[in-house]
Structure 1
Amino acid sequence: MRERSDLGVISATTLKSLGIANPWRKCTAGGPWQRMYPGVVLLHNGPPTPDQHLTAALLRAGPSSAVTGAEACRRHGLPAHGRELHLLSPASVRGTGPLIIERCRPMPPVHTIDGFPVVPAARAVVDACRQMRSPDEATALIAASIQRGLCTPTSLREEARTNRFGTKLARTVLKDLGRAESVAERDARRLSHRIRLTTPHWNVTIADSTGLVIGRPDAWFDDVALAWEIDSRAFHYGPRDYERTLARNSRYAAAGILVVQTLPTRLRDQPEQVARELKQAHRAAAARPRPPIRMVEVR
């Protein structure tokens, strides 16, 4: 009997074909088996493993079904915390409890991960976000999928557009990620104007006395050679971006340039603290001899 099961999970139909006319009698309290889902039996009465749970759910969903949502994200190695099991199926099957079975035609392509049919990462992430209510949780998952190279902002946006029902949260997060720099620059300009520092130059190229280009800071206080960088979430998507940030800061330090780094979220949520840091940095920059740094035009 176990040889006809998958990880000890078997359908009631298969059991009946093996001569077990009423398998549910063995699934009563204290019985040797347990009922997982309608028509699905686990051939022991102990706690099922995650793989047994997923096997039973796929058996309930029917042939050609696939895993999506939080469980698919975890199978892809992403930090999704949803407890629901979300499956896609070409058939119309009802889920129960934490099992969500969504009819889907045509079915998306699938990958086999650990022996299970799993949808591509972009579909899994968008479907996981459909079950979320927290923008922070959705942002963390989307950012992780991009950082680890499993998705791109474009692939996620396309998936959210294709599968629009319930994707408002994912689309909002992706929109915010896409406009993070422009929003941050707007907030930075407003803050700079409010605290009445020397009006900075924005997105100008700076070079040393030999003409060697050092960088292109978001804001440049030329009177004291102070750079202000608004390091958006894009800088944290991957190790290469982090390496570029370190290299940029090393060039600033070698040229004697002071730099203030600010996250867009702090501009929005802690503007007074950012203002104090910027004014203190400006005073520190003014107190030391100004390095021979100049603005240049790049042709």
Structure 2
Amino acid sequence: MSLFVDGRVTRVQKRVEGGKLPGMNHDTPLSPRPLHQLCDGTRRVLTQAQLRARGVSGAETGERCRPGGPWQQLLPGVVLLHSGPPTGEERLHAVLLYTARERTVGVPAQPGADQPPVSSYGEAMITGLAALALHGFSAAPPPASLEVLDVLVPRLRRLRSTGCARIVRTSVLPVPEQIAGVPVAPVPRALADAVAGLDDAGAVRLLLTEAVRGGHCEPAAVVRELTGAKLLNRPHVVDAVDSLLAEGRALAEARLYRMVREYGLPEPFWNVDLRLPGGPHLGVMDAYWPEQAVALELDTRAPRPGRRPEDEAEWSEYARRREHLERLGVTVVHLTPRKLRDALEQQAAVVRTALMAAADRDPAAYVVVRPR
């Protein structure tokens, strides 16, 4: 993935060719590595500690960052090694270096390396809208157009938001994903941080919908993060979540239909209501094979603690219904959208096994099957 490439790289490389700082009045080389190897390609952002490690004193850095000078200070302790507007990628690296500047005396990996180690930026990672853009969301604006970039850090870090860096704290850091050398929060966490700063219901709905349609994550993971961020008390977020869950169910049902046909399973009765003859309602199932007495249920619900008091009752009712069906001799296969997305063939084998095992079971009670 290429990020924010501009046409200024070659000009900077030419100006610093030979290992000299552009515009310096002496020929003292920087050691152990010439500075042009640090500011070519995408790495033209360094901390003052990194510059000192390369032989550039604080006074020299300050002089070069004066108005009209060849460098500029993007954030406290973070220097851009040219005078033009920073690219989107340079801003991303700048905010990461700002959060970890006291820990990054060394130099991040150079362009061409596989990926810089996560420790290059401490525990910090990009989150919010910028992270979603890096994950490939079309509904998220590119980092270059964002006024501020959200950076996720441990709760106890003593940092303040400044300039283009907005600090987001958490007591539990997720495992970051590396995208083009940038540590990025996983999609569910990035979504929660982005939604926290959005009041536009349409924008929230677009982001949540793209997360599911684009296959980035399952609705349940998003709802868990929104719950943890205490965002489900906002009406426009609740409405977007309802649409998200409906979107997730439609996609899961489509995968279920494909699984049955692609892997040669017997055609079931789809979306049926099961009842005892003249008796109570047993439950609604997504698929039912009456000859084998095998029922399949998709679990596309996501717990939303604090939003609906009836959630606990709903889960208790689900467990009671399943136990009742199994006492009647009906095998209930429980599938989740994530399993269907990530392991369709394996889930087909689970269903096939349940169908084949019917021959070894006692006959099930007679069940009335009605269309939903």
TM-score when normalising by structure 1: 0.57
Give yes or no for the alignment of 1:56 onto 2:94: yes
| Aligned CA distance change for structure 1 residues 9 and 61 (closer, same or farther; 3 Å) | same
Query: What amino acid is aligned across from residue 142 of structure 1 in structure 2?
Result: L
| Aligned CA distance change for structure 1 residues 233 and 108 (closer, same or farther; 3 Å) | closer
- Structure 2 residue runs without a partner (length 5+): 1-36, 101-121, 142-146, 259-368
2:149 aligns with one of 81, 85, 101 = 85
Q: Which residue of 1 aligns with 2:229?
A: 163
Indicate conservation of the 8 Å contact 1:32/1:45, yes or no.
yes
Distance 1:120 1:13 in 2: 30
Indicate conservation of the 8 Å contact 2:72/2:80, yes or no.
yes
Distance 2:245 2:40 in 1: 54
Q: 1:122-271 maps to which residues of 2 (within 5 A)?
A: 122-164=188-230, 168=234, 171-177=237-243, 235=250
Give yes or no for the alignment of 1:100 onto 2:166: yes
Give yes or no for the alignment of 1:117 onto 2:183: yes
Q: Which residue of 1 aligns with 2:131?
A: 72
Shift of 1:32: 0.6
Q: Which residue of 2 aligns with 1:15?
A: 51
Distance 1:128 1:108 in 2: 16
Percentage of matched positions with identical amino acids:
29
Query: What amino acid is aligned across from residue 78 of structure 2 in structure 1?
Result: V
| Aligned CA distance change for structure 1 residues 5 and 92 (closer, same or farther; 3 Å) | farther
Shift of 1:29: 1.9
Distance 1:94 1:239 in 2: 47
Q: Which residue of 1 aligns with 2:73?
A: 35
Indicate conservation of the 8 Å contact 1:70/1:128, yes or no.
yes
| Aligned CA distance change for structure 1 residues 76 and 27 (closer, same or farther; 3 Å) | same
| Aligned CA distance change for structure 1 residues 112 and 238 (closer, same or farther; 3 Å) | farther
Shift of 1:79: 2.5
Distance 1:164 1:51 in 2: 31
- CA displacement 1:134-153 (0-9 Å, x = unmatched): 00110001000000111211
Shift of 1:131: 1.2
Indicate conservation of the 8 Å contact 1:130/1:169, yes or no.
no
TM-score when normalising by structure 2: 0.46
| Aligned CA distance change for structure 1 residues 175 and 49 (closer, same or farther; 3 Å) | closer
Distance 1:238 1:143 in 2: 16
Shift of 1:15: 2.2
Indicate conservation of the 8 Å contact 1:130/1:167, yes or no.
no
| Aligned CA distance change for structure 1 residues 9 and 179 (closer, same or farther; 3 Å) | closer
Distance 1:86 1:54 in 2: 9
Indicate conservation of the 8 Å contact 1:110/1:120, yes or no.
yes
Shift of 1:237: 9.2
**Moved segments of 4+, more than 4 Å:** 3-6, 232-241
Secondary structure of 2:59's partner?
coil
Indicate conservation of the 8 Å contact 1:66/1:117, yes or no.
yes
Secondary structure of 1:21's partner?
helix
Distance 2:148 2:233 in 1: 17
2:83 aligns with one of 18, 27, 45 = 45
Name the Cα RMSD after superposition.
Answer: 3.5
Distance 2:64 2:235 in 1: 45
- CA displacement 1:79-126 (0-9 Å, x = unmatched): 344543100116221121342112223311111111110111111111
Q: Which residue of 2 aligns with 1:276?
A: none
